Structure 1
Amino acid sequence: MDHNLTLITTISAGFGLALILGFIAERCKLPALVGYLLAGILIGPATPGFVADVAIASQLAEIGVMLLMFGVGLHFSINDLMSVRRIALPGALVQMTFATLLGMALAHWWGWTLGEGLIFGLALSCASTVVLLKALESRGILDSMNGKIAIGWLVVEDLLTVLVLVLMPPLAAILGGASTETITTPLWQTIGFTLLQVTAFIVLMLVVGKRLLPWLLWHVAKTGSRELFTLAVISAAIGIAFGAAHLFSVSFALGAFFAGMVMRESEFSHRAAEESLPLRDAFAVLFFVSVGMLFEPAILVEQPFNVLAVVAVIILGKSIAAMVITLAFRYPLNTALTVAASLAQIGEFSFILAGLGLSLGILPTQGMSLILAGALISIAMNPLIFSMIKPFKKWALSFSELARHLEKRTDPFSELPMSTERKYLEGQVVLVGYGRVGKRIAEALTNNNIPFVVAEENRELVENLRKKGLPAVSGNASEPSVLIQAHIANASMLVIATPDTIDVRKMVETAKTLQPGIEIVLRTHNEDESKFLREDKIGKVFYGEEELAKGMCEFIVKQYAPKNIHT
């Protein structure tokens, strides 16, 4: 074979097999990612037949990492993270520590060094954001409170893992890795200088990049060229990642992540995400294929108990730790089970960590194979684990008094305090949801001296509202107890400001049972849903695009009318 065609054959073989096996995986109700990893295994050096170029595949994987992390940054919202910080931050820290210790214990049992065990444990501790997002989206709970907690948890894990990636190279020699340089500076100086470089890059991105990137996108968008806009987005992602690595000694992953996070601040963030998605998806596939090429299938036969131990840490160890932590923060059993299922897998960051550990000589080849085996099995089983949440919860509530207690125990913010003034509880508006729309409605009600009570799933948000002197209760308003605590029986109107209309009928049924004459107002993002809701005569339905069109039409007619009269 002509050496000059190695790049083409590697890409074509990778994409072709990934397409076939990814399709088969989806048909078997498994994530396509499993198919991509299997494609890499088939064209890797550990299996007979065609062998792709590992060096070229690893470079393509680096681009995949950049674009993958750029996509994570584009969807990363500091506000979303802050809204669940009280559970996500300590939860991620404790759960990662516990999983890392379990991994280190396994490595010690197998006779590995402390450094090898640490990297191995860290790789097992971080779940895949890509797998989680797809799992939550397929179940329609991406925007639910449980979904937000799980995503916030994983974002914290991602940030902690990025910090580990930054610190690994300077600490490689200490951890027992191969080092070509003689260490002459103290360890604290090395770590301090590394963190200083990272801080300088972050400050530069948040101060300069936050202004420069949106400005650049604005001027490129004014040209009207779709190709130039896409090129600007991809160039920013890869260029910043490359510059961060060479100027600040920051990993490609961190550079690309901050490029995406800063670009999110632009008004073109949704378009940037949309335009770059095909290329991000394509290179993400190559990343997973290249990771599969490093896997040695023989380990499944030679060390089956080691593989089972790794899977147990990922699926049982991490999940139990996450469940205990969530319950300790007084969240209901359903939330704890959702978070536990979300973390019962490992993915892209585990591969990035293991790959860097392998290149630095901190992780043995056997460790990479065990991590890949654990990833394949846990990702394949994740849909099954999610599907078991409801039946397991039902079984637990039927047979366990403890489970019933954990599900129904009192949330300190689920009841209105006795000090709430009576004026709020007579003829008030019950406002379900305090997001972007709910917040504006609340401001309008306040400005017009209309009493209202907020029902919101986000406990931290409820706490902040109470500090401002606003009456609010935490919980899912589809549960009758939440609306009862909001004194729905005394309310004159129920306003449902959440975009999710799945539980609307439950809320309305509860409200009309307790207050037959109550007026219902709700919103929807879907035209078909708006038609069905209106046909059911549930209440006054506001459909986003329809209301936008009405507002624009009113403005146009108003502006045009005087000119038309003069003519």
Structure 2
Amino acid sequence: MIAQLAVILFAAKLAGDAAVRLGQPAVLGKLLIGIVLGPSVFGVIEDTDLLQELSQIGVILLMFIAGLETDMDQFRRTGKAAVAVGVLGILVPLLAGYAAGAAFGMETGTALFLGLLLSATSVSISVQALKEMGQLQSKEGSAILGAAVIDDVLVVIALAFLLSLTGGDVELGAVVLKKAVFFAVAILLAWKAIPLVLKWFAPLRVTEAVVSAGLVICFAFAYFAEAMGVAAIIGAYMAGLGASFTDYREEVFEKVETIAYSLFVPVFFTSIGVAADFSGIVEHWPLIVGWSALAILTKLVGAALGAKWAGFSWGSSLAVGAGMVSRGEVALIIAGIGLEAGLLDGNMFAVMIIVVLVTTVVTPPLLKMIFSRLHPVRRTA
């Protein structure tokens, strides 16, 4: 594992630099080098449980940093857009995915599940691409982050509803109640508890007390979120939002960013490529191409229509839509649930895993292309 970490960090940094030199976000290079190093190509890096655990820490820290960087004034102003983007960004892929599944002769439950799978969004990749371009605090970036929270909640509730209809042991009322409890408690803790915890830790006569307090808060919120059926990254993001209102924001941000980007975040991006399984890609390539195109276009169009309805320009709307395209780890989790529940067979599961990877890899260059035209002056390498 130690040797693999050395290889991952070395390769990720070089690949990220190469991507930037080619005019692309560094995160794209890290994703692609993971595929090259993983079992699908050279097999230098193995997809171990420990690697996945380190990867999970990476994405949690990434979203915590995003919360610390969020401009709350901008976040409030884009509230209407976030709701519209979240809702339409679910409805369009859901209906299109169901229609495509039905056209292939799939059972109603399977077709609905595929539509729901296409509706999921994970903005961790988008957050990194936006950070690199200096657009995380833009109105588009704020709308993407807000919509991601709404998307996560609605998709999980819809999944619980579908599983209850198809005979799964799921109580919809309990799922909705747990979500409501999470957000109520998380908002209260972010408002009252986070400032107190940081203030209590600050005078301790130990090294990096404030940063340690920030990490305690981050991981506690992430764990609480997952325990309540919400994605851990949403909990980490809310922890970052709460810490951003304190006097310790800059110190926590600078130190956590150093910890995250020196080890855990590169492992996260690389591990996505390492986990890719291309077995059966030749046999099922028409399905992969078709479902990938459907996944990209429906989320892009649906989210863009939501942003446009909220008053964004067409350019800004497309930027928001592009930021919602990546399905990432959220869709992988949902796909696993579908396989276990019998809503996906083994072949379709393999196809959808590759589709999720395609949406993840496509997102950084798509964001780069749209934002470079939308904000040419503010664009950074």
Q: Which TM-score applies when normalising by structure 1? A: 0.56
Q: 1:196 to 1:330 in 2, by over 3 A?
A: closer
The answer for the alignment partner of 2:336 in structure 1 is 359
* Counterpart contact for 2:120–2:155, Cα < 8 Å: no
Distance 2:158 2:38 in 1: 27
The number of equivalent residue pairs is 366
Q: Matched residues in 2 for 1:329 and 1:249: separation? A: 29
Shift of 1:239: 3.0
Aligned to 1:290: 271
* Residue 196, structure 1, aligned to residue 177, structure 2: yes
Aligned to 1:54: 48
Distance 2:44 2:166 in 1: 35
Q: Distance in 1 between matches of 2:311 and 2:221?
A: 42
- Structure 1 residue 324, shift from structure 2 partner: 4.8
- What is the CA–CA distance in structure 1 between the aligned matches of 2:6 and 2:136, rounded to whole Å? 34
Output the amino acid matched with 1:275: K
Deviation of residue 288 (structure 1)?
1.8
From 104, 129, 133, the equivalent of 2:130 is 133
C-alpha separation in 2, matches of 1:14 and 1:82: 39
For 1:160, the equivalent position in structure 2 comes to 150
Deviation at 1:38, TM superposition (A): 1.6
Once the two structures are superposed, what CA deviation does each residue of 1:382-425 show, in whole Å capped at 9, x if it has no partner? 3234445599xxxxxxxxxxxxxxxxxxxxxxxxxxxxxxxxxx
| Corresponding residue of 1:336 | 314
What is the CA-CA distance between 1:276 and the residue it aligns to? 0.7
1:266-345 to 2 correspondences below 5 Å: 266-281=246-261, 282-297=263-278, 301-310=282-291, 312-313=293-294, 316-328=297-309, 331=312, 335-344=313-322
How far is the alpha carbon of 1:308 from its aligned partner? 4.2
Matched, 1:17 2:29: no
Partners in 2 of 1:169 and 1:323 — Cα distance? 23
- Aligned counterparts of 2:229 and 2:301: Cα–Cα separation in 1: 37
Distance 1:321 1:208 in 2: 34
Q: Displacement of 1:163 after TM fit?
A: 1.0
Q: Identify unmatched segments of 5+ residues in structure 2.
A: none
Give the % identical residues: 22
Q: Give the TM-score taking structure 2 as reference length.
A: 0.80
Tell me which residue corresponds to 2:215.
Answer: 234
What is the one-letter code of the residue matched to 2:147?
Answer: E
Q: Are residues 210 and 171 of structure 1, via their aligned partners in 2, closer, same or farther at CA, if it must alter by over 3 Å?
A: same
Q: Find the aligned partners of 2:123 and 2:224 in 1 and give their Cα distance.
A: 27
Separation of aligned partners in 2, 1:381 and 1:50: 29
CA-CA distance at 1:35 after TM superposition: 1.5
What amino acid is aligned across from residue 356 of structure 2 in structure 1?
I
Please, which of 72, 86, 90 is the counterpart of residue 84 of structure 2? 90
Which structure carries more helix by proportion? 2
The change in CA–CA distance for 1:152 and 1:345 in structure 2 (over 3 A counts) is closer
For residues 199 and 50 of structure 1, the distance between their equivalents in structure 2, rounded to whole angstroms, comes to 44
Give distance in 2, aligned partners of 1:67 and 1:390: 28
TM-aligned CA distance change 1:346 to 1:290, over 3 Å? farther
Task: Give SS of 1:119's match.
Answer: helix
What value does the CA root-mean-square deviation take over the aligned residues?
Answer: 3.5
Higher relative contact order (CA closer than 8 Å, sequence separation 6+): 2
CA deviation after TM superposition for structure 1 residue 234, in Å: 1.4
Larger radius of gyration: 1
Specify the alignment match of 2:32 in structure 1. Answer: 38
Partner of 1:121: 118
Distance 1:77 1:171 in 2: 34
Question: Any idea what the Cα deviations from partners look like across 1:94-135, whole Å, max 9, x if unmatched?
Answer: 233213333444444456522441333113697954155236
**Aligned residues of 2:68 and 2:244 also touching (Cα < 8 A):** yes
Residues 352, 89 of structure 1: CA spacing in aligned structure 2 closer, same or farther, 3 A cutoff? same
CA offset at residue 226 of structure 1?
A: 5.5
Task: State whether residues 222 and 233 of structure 2, in contact with CA within 8 Å, keep that contact through their aligned partners in structure 1.
Answer: yes
The change in CA–CA distance for 1:12 and 1:165 in structure 2 (over 3 A counts) is farther
Aligned amino acid, residue 76 of structure 2 = M
- Pick aligned residue for 2:194 from 188, 210, 213: 213
Structure 1 pair 129–243 and aligned structure 2 pair: CA distance change class (3 A) = same
Residue in 2 aligned with 1:369? 354
Tell me: CA distance 1:164–1:323, structure 2 relative to 1, closer, same or farther (3 Å).
Answer: closer
**Distance in 1 (alpha carbons) for counterparts of 2:372 and 2:246:** 38
Structure 1: runs of 5+ lacking an equivalent: 1-6, 392-499, 503-567
* Preserved contact between residue 87 and residue 306 of structure 2 (Cα < 8 Å): no
SS of the residue corresponding to residue 59 of structure 1 reads: helix
